[in-house]
Chain A
Amino acid sequence: MSDTHAQTVAYVRETMVEQKEPPLSQSGAYKWIHENMFSTPLNVILTVVSLFVIWTVLSHVLPWAVMGIWDADSLAQCREIRDQLYGADASVACWAVISERWNQLLFGFYPPELYWRPVLAFVLFLAAIAPVLFASVPRKMLWFSAAAPFVLYWLLWGGSLWGPIAVAAGFALGAVVMRFAAPALGALAGVLLAILVPLLYWFLISGPLAGALNAVIPLELVNVRSNDMGGFMLAMIIGVSGIALSLPLGIVLALGRQSDLFIINKCSVFFIEVIRGVPLIVWLFTASLLLNYFLPPGTNFDLMLRVIIMVTLFSSAYIAEVVRGGLAALPKGQYEAADALGLDYWKSMRLIILPQALKISIPGIVNTFIGLFKDTTLVVFIGLLDPIGLSNAIRASTDWNGIYWELFVFIGLCFFIFCFSMGRYSLFLEKKLRREHR
């Protein structure tokens, strides 16, 4: 009490109190266990009951999975091995179906001698998304990411390399037109021209050009039809294309819905509401059945491409709404500050508004992506052989007739790994972009 002058009313502190460690019972594992598991009698009971439930489940599932049989050619053989090892009434998994049909589950009916192509494509794909996902990867790699879609298409479907190159040239053409026409003609005319010129090029020139180039220097791979692709490869192709294409489209739609320009605004709202208001399965049937009626007779529009377009449009409507939420969450002052500095609309969106709005929307965007990826299993209803479709085909064969759990557990686990990693990445990104309290 010596330094507090307790007898007088006026008070002046002479020494400041130093920071001290909290008492031992208030930190560490002891505190955690006490607070979270045994703090009250009810809590003790709940802890015991929960442990019992977990033990019951694991004591049944773990032996089934761990004792599972990996080496057999059919379900019947699986059962024979089980009878020898554990007795007839033991319940064990027959994982052999996965090891025996492994290639089919991964690639569908892709020609086995060409398996190196999807494998290489997958490795290239990982290299291409690395710079997009992680800022620590050298920025120059982004050029590779931009080229990757065309290379991957060529690897997976085969044909002439000049086809994808001719298509890619269209984008370059658009960029060049934008670069030189926009300053001369004004922003709107520049954008319109940058869209129109590549479209004309794709419809009229790119096909013959690719053919001509291929005649001079043939760079061909064996063609593989979409019908032969299946399994997780199909789910990945549809899912990844849908994700990569729906994000930019969704952002454009969200900006359109916020726009003051009447027609753009109404078109965006109409598109979003119509696409969102109809089940995906209806759109998929539209893609597989109805689209043929509208296309000119004789055009053979790849079914997988149609599905990718529909999945993209579907999830872009959701992305648009998620991004709109992010745009609306930004304080008005951010828009005003960008305006007051003289930034035009596109610059203020690109540099100020979208980086912040997208950061807010990350959980919602990733949520939509996870939904999209799982929804790729719906293509089974229009006859594409995604993992679920293949599992049906496998179960229909005489060898594996009667097997259920193992295939679905495996497929579920694979989807879980993909979706869980997306969720983890979303958390990582949110943490990395957190600026408020560092």
Chain B
Amino acid sequence: MQQQATDTVDRSHMTVSDEVAIQITKMNKWYGNFHVLRDIDLTVHRGERIVIAGPSGSGKSTMIRCINRLEEHQAGQIVVDGTELGSDLKNIDKIRSEVGMVFQHFNLFPHLTILENCTLAPIWVRKVPKKEAEATAMHFLEKVKIPEQAHKYPGQLSGGQQQRVAIARSLCMKPRIMLFDEPTSALDPEMIKEVLDTMVSLAEEGMTMLCVTHEMGFAQAVANRVIFMDAGQIVEQNEPKAFFNNPQHERTKLFLSQILGH
């Protein structure tokens, strides 16, 4: 699983620009009295592909969910594409329509067909005409290789297919940034590959990606930065090669020895 993608990735379009896509400064978050995120500082440039790893409960999901305000941060600053996330609902909706998100459990809308799932947000948020939205949706469904399922309902698809639809649904909004929250954790091994392949091809086109995952093969092949989190803070970040071959922090070494030990 870890080596298969590495050799075939086409890195020609994976260029990182100087433009800042996401700027997080001194972000803190509490659940009640529990300090989940502590002084998070992170700058993401356009075109970067960042993999966030760490033990469960380390706050990695919470951190990326703060970026589109599914979780509220209580201190510090998050600026996405030049718009600051605050309590202003207009800013939140604006950022959400620019930032795509893929969830662990797909979260497709079961009462709508695959095509309707993909066209709903473009039609109602972006005010795209229906015909055009459907054409875009078919384009992205072809890209994730399931155009023939367009008129089925999510319940009739396998987990891997559903997750690819979820990716296509996000792409239909033409987002500038994609967030992945453990996209393969709920899938069978056979299906993980088809989803990872889709994500790799997305990376090859230069999409800015933040990805919480335990797929270290994907991190090595695609990421240009790996972030390791523990206890609500960023413990170590580095290029994948250096991160995997020469981890500095004790906690990182322990984590890598656990996860790569098999």
Chain A interfacial positions (CB closer than 8 Å to B): 331, 333-334, 336-344, 347, 351-352, 355-356, 359, 433, 435-438
Cβ contact within 8 Å between A336 and B103: yes
* B residues less than 8 Å from A331 (CB atoms): 105, 107
B109: which of A342, A352, A433, A438 is its contact (CB, 8 Å)? A352
Give B26-82 interface residues, CB cut-off 8 Å to A: 68-70
Shortest distance in angstroms between B171's beta carbon and chain A's nearest beta carbon?
12
Cβ contact within 8 Å between A347 and B155: no
Whole-angstrom distance between the alpha carbons of A342 and B68 in the complex? 9
| A337-B103 contact given A343-B121, A435-B110, A435-B155, CB 8 Å threshold | yes
Cβ contact within 8 Å between B121 and A341: yes
The reply on B244 being an interface residue by CB < 8 A is no
B93: which of A342, A436, A437 is its contact (CB, 8 Å)? A342
* B residues less than 8 Å from A351 (CB atoms): 120, 124
Cβ contact within 8 Å between B125 and A436: no
22 A-B contact pairs sorted by A residue (CB < 8 Å)? A334-B107, A334-B109, A337-B103, A337-B107, A337-B108, A337-B109, A339-B68, A340-B103, A341-B97, A341-B173, A342-B94, A342-B125, A347-B125, A351-B120, A352-B109, A433-B111, A435-B110, A435-B153, A436-B110, A436-B153, A438-B153, A438-B156
The reply on B96 being an interface residue by CB < 8 A is yes
The reply on B199 being an interface residue by CB < 8 A is no
* A residues less than 8 Å from B106 (CB atoms): 333
Cβ contact within 8 Å between A356 and B111: yes
10 pairs of A and B residues whose beta carbons are closest in the complex: A342-B97, A337-B107, A333-B107, A341-B121, A342-B96, A340-B101, A436-B155, A342-B125, A435-B153, A342-B93
Whole-angstrom distance between the alpha carbons of A437 and B155 in the complex? 7
Shortest distance in angstroms between B108's beta carbon and chain A's nearest beta carbon?
8
Shortest distance in angstroms between B122's beta carbon and chain A's nearest beta carbon?
9
B interface bracket (residues with beta carbon within 8 Å of A): 20 to 34
Shortest distance in angstroms between A265's beta carbon and chain B's nearest beta carbon?
18
Shortest distance in angstroms between A248's beta carbon and chain B's nearest beta carbon?
20
* A residues less than 8 Å from B97 (CB atoms): 341-342
Whole-angstrom distance between the alpha carbons of A340 and B104 in the complex? 14
| A356-B101 contact given A336-B70, A341-B121, A351-B120, CB 8 Å threshold | no
Whole-angstrom distance between the alpha carbons of A222 and B121 in the complex? 52
Whole-angstrom distance between the alpha carbons of A304 and B35 in the complex? 59
Cβ contact within 8 Å between B111 and A355: yes
Shortest distance in angstroms between A345's beta carbon and chain B's nearest beta carbon?
9
* B residues less than 8 Å from A343 (CB atoms): 120-121, 124-125
Whole-angstrom distance between the alpha carbons of A339 and B170 in the complex? 12
* A residues less than 8 Å from B93 (CB atoms): 342, 344
Whole-angstrom distance between the alpha carbons of A384 and B96 in the complex? 56
| A347-B124 contact given A333-B105, A435-B155, CB 8 Å threshold | yes
Whole-angstrom distance between the alpha carbons of A341 and B92 in the complex? 11
Shortest distance in angstroms between A97's beta carbon and chain B's nearest beta carbon?
50
Shortest distance in angstroms between A335's beta carbon and chain B's nearest beta carbon?
9
Whole-angstrom distance between the alpha carbons of A331 and B154 in the complex? 15
Shortest distance in angstroms between B73's beta carbon and chain A's nearest beta carbon?
16
* B residues less than 8 Å from A352 (CB atoms): 109, 120
Shortest distance in angstroms between B116's beta carbon and chain A's nearest beta carbon?
10
Name the residue of chain A whose CB is nearest to the CB of B96.
Answer: A342
Cβ contact within 8 Å between A342 and B155: no
Name the residue of chain A whose CB is nearest to the CB of B154.
Answer: A435
Whole-angstrom distance between the alpha carbons of A339 and B105 in the complex? 15
* A residues less than 8 Å from B89 (CB atoms): 344
Give B145-186 interface residues, CB cut-off 8 Å to A: 153-156, 169-170, 173
Whole-angstrom distance between the alpha carbons of A347 and B109 in the complex? 14
Whole-angstrom distance between the alpha carbons of A437 and B110 in the complex? 11
Whole-angstrom distance between the alpha carbons of A338 and B107 in the complex? 9
- Given contact pairs A341-B121, A343-B120, enumerate 20 new A-B contacts (beta carbons under 8 Å): A331-B105, A334-B107, A336-B103, A336-B107, A337-B109, A338-B109, A339-B69, A340-B99, A340-B101, A341-B97, A342-B93, A342-B121, A342-B173, A344-B89, A344-B93, A347-B125, A356-B109, A356-B111, A359-B111, A436-B110
* A residues less than 8 Å from B108 (CB atoms): 337
Whole-angstrom distance between the alpha carbons of A356 and B99 in the complex? 25
Cβ contact within 8 Å between A339 and B110: no
Shortest distance in angstroms between A327's beta carbon and chain B's nearest beta carbon?
14
* B residues less than 8 Å from A338 (CB atoms): 109
* B residues less than 8 Å from A356 (CB atoms): 109-111
* B residues less than 8 Å from A344 (CB atoms): 89, 93
Shortest distance in angstroms between A34's beta carbon and chain B's nearest beta carbon?
36
Name the residue of chain B whose CB is nearest to the CB of A433.
Answer: B111
Whole-angstrom distance between the alpha carbons of A100 and B60 in the complex? 79
* B residues less than 8 Å from A359 (CB atoms): 111
A339: which of B96, B100, B155 is its contact (CB, 8 Å)? B96
Name the residue of chain A whose CB is nearest to the CB of B68.
Answer: A340
Whole-angstrom distance between the alpha carbons of A343 and B96 in the complex? 8
Whole-angstrom distance between the alpha carbons of A437 and B109 in the complex? 15
Shortest distance in angstroms between A428's beta carbon and chain B's nearest beta carbon?
17
Name the residue of chain B whose CB is nearest to the CB of A332.
Answer: B107
B96: which of A334, A340, A347 is its contact (CB, 8 Å)? A340
| A341-B120 contact given A435-B153, A436-B155, A438-B156, CB 8 Å threshold | yes
* A residues less than 8 Å from B153 (CB atoms): 435-436, 438
